[in-house]
Structure 1
Amino acid sequence: MMSERQHWRLGLLAALLPLLTTHLSYGLSLWEAWIPACNPYWADCVSISRTGRHGSAYWWFKGLMLPACLLLAVFWWQAARWLQQRGLSPGPLVLPLAMLASLALAVYTLTLGHATGHFPVIRRVGIAGFILFTYLVQVAIGAALYRAEPWRWAGNRVLGLATLILAIALLTLVWDGLWSEAYERWEDAFEWWLFLLLNGQLFLMLWIARFGQPERSI
């Protein structure tokens, strides 16, 4: 049986691995000249998907992201268990939603690099499902913390970051609908931002579990 420190280290790996995978793929694709040199968090660059489509990055992306899918599922299971140990309940849908998020990310990963048939559509559904289900899990956990007075400060922070993620997602829809040509320049950057913020929630929850004190207030 793992100790609390081992659980925390496993959670840290789950939070780090997706970020390391995407940035390693970007670096490899840039080194092998599959993509131009640019800032992926700014306009006129490349999507996360494009960094893992060709060359050695194709294999590194799949080889690292698939284990990351499993680790993310374990992370949310640990988060739900941590809440239950403190008498908090995130609801019965958290674990099913977490499993769906991990499955959607795995589908996206497996179809990446295949541009024929239904693969592009399946890939888009996979990444959209991952973002949606992960967001819902984070909101449920944030709400569980917020409902408990000693942990309300933590719930505020989790829900605040979730609100920022939702605001960016809604902004992309509005911008795409009103100024589609201008939005195309920033679409890939928004994808990187959302992925970074979704992973940022994991680091925030790890910090709460590791260092947070329920007696604190905002």
Structure 2
Amino acid sequence: MPLRVLPLLVFFVPAIGANLSLWWSQHLGLVPDCNVYLEGCTSISAAGRYEPVIFFFRALIIPTAVLMMLFWRLTCCWLGELGERSRTRLAVMEAIGYVAGLFLILYATFLGSDGDGYRLMRRYGVTVFFAFTYLAQLLATGVLYARLRAGLTDVAPWVVRTMVAGCALMLLGGLASIPAAEWALDRSAANNIIEWNLSGLLMGWFLLAWLAWRQTDFRVRFTTERARRPGRAG
């Protein structure tokens, strides 16, 4: 399987995991039945928290974290090949991508565990995952947008502009969660609506990244060079 499909996996695996877990939990009567994107009757965590759904949820979310970390490593290579000169920016993007993946694993590991300590780890896990994934996406989008402004169109302009728009919408959604937590009539529902939709935008960015990789014909090749030394006469 070519590694160029990696962003597709990063998009589809968690999308399938979250939405099928939601459907399954609703079917079993574990969570309320509604359109979570519009009504916010339950959170992503609640959708995957209860047995037997939690085993399916973890089985998809934890591999997603590993795939994401690999994605950020390859994205740094890709942007470097496109001509990005700031090695510091690429290194920071890769590092925060790794941190995001590790905290997603932390979140999934302790999902469903009782106790204030476990609840705190889940909260930190999901918060850091969202924030750091967004920051990594913002850095990558910034590189592509700078290239577009310089007249370099190896990635289609509409893809880059959609990435920029998605990042802007995620920022607005994050800011909207602050007053929603204070003034909404149903704070829990408001936060759940924002959470589900922000997750969709966050994952949708990886679909755009797949298009960008494809348009630049990005490929990964593993090679080995063996140093050959002449034998010594006995």
TM-score, structure 1 length as denominator?
0.88
Picking from 2, 11, 15, the partner of 2:7 is: 11
Shift of 1:212: 6.3
The reply to whether residue 70 of structure 1 matches residue 66 of structure 2 is yes
Q: Deviations over 1:146-169 (max 9, x none)?
A: 222214835433222111101011
What runs of 5+ residues in structure 1 fail to find an aligned partner? 214-218
The count of corresponding residues between Structure 1 and Structure 2 is 208
Identity across matched positions, percent: 27
Residue 211 of structure 1: how far off its partner (Å) = 3.0
Q: What are the within-5 Å matches in structure 2 for residues 28-39 of structure 1?
A: 28-39=24-35
Provide the residue aligned with 2:122 in structure 1. 123
Q: Is contact 1:18-1:68 (8 Å) kept?
A: yes
User: What is the aligned partner in structure 1 of residue 36 from structure 2?
Assistant: 40
CA contact (8 A) 1:32 1:55 kept: no
In the TM superposition, residue 180 of structure 1 has moved relative to its aligned partner by: 4.1
Moved more, 84-93 or 135-144: 84-93
Contact kept, 8 Å, 1:29 with 1:52, in 2: the verdict is yes
Of residues 148, 152, 163 in structure 2, which corresponds to 1:158?
163
Equivalent pair of 1:40/1:46 in contact (CA under 8 Å):
yes
Partner of 1:176: 181
Q: Quick one: distance in 1 between partners of 2:29 and 2:177?
A: 29
Higher helix share: 1
TM-superposed deviation, 1:42: 1.7
Within a 5 Å distance, the mapping from 1:94-133 to structure 2 comes to: 94-133=93-132
Q: Amino acid of the residue matched to residue 104 of structure 2?
A: L
Q: Deviations over 1:18-64 (max 9, x none)?
A: 11111121122122221121111122411000011112111111111
Name 1:60's counterpart in structure 2.
56
CA-to-aligned-CA distance 1:64-98 (integer Å, 9 cap, x gap):
11111100111111221111111125432011100
Tell me, in whole angstroms, the C-alpha distance in 1 between the residues paired with 2:91 and 2:49: 37
Task: Give distance in 1, aligned partners of 2:14 and 2:29.
Answer: 22
8 A Cα contact 2:181 2:190, kept in partner: no
Post-superposition shift, 1:10?
2.5
Q: 1:79 aligns with which of 75, 79, 96?
A: 75
Structure showing greater Rg: 2
User: 2:194 aligned with 1:198, yes or no?
Assistant: no
SS of residue paired to 2:52? helix
> Distance in 2 between the 1:182 and 1:45 partners?
10
Asked if 1:20 corresponds to 2:16, the answer is yes
Greater relative contact order (Cα < 8 A, sep 6+):
2
**Conservation of the 8 A alpha-carbon contact between 1:144 and 1:155:** no
Whole-angstrom distance in 1 between the partners of 2:23 and 2:46: 12
Amino acid at match of 2:123: R
Instruction: Give the structure-2-normalised TM-score.
Output: 0.83
Question: Aligned partners of 1:133 and 1:163: how far apart in 2?
Answer: 15
Hey, which bits of structure 1, 4+ residues long, moved more than 4 A?
none
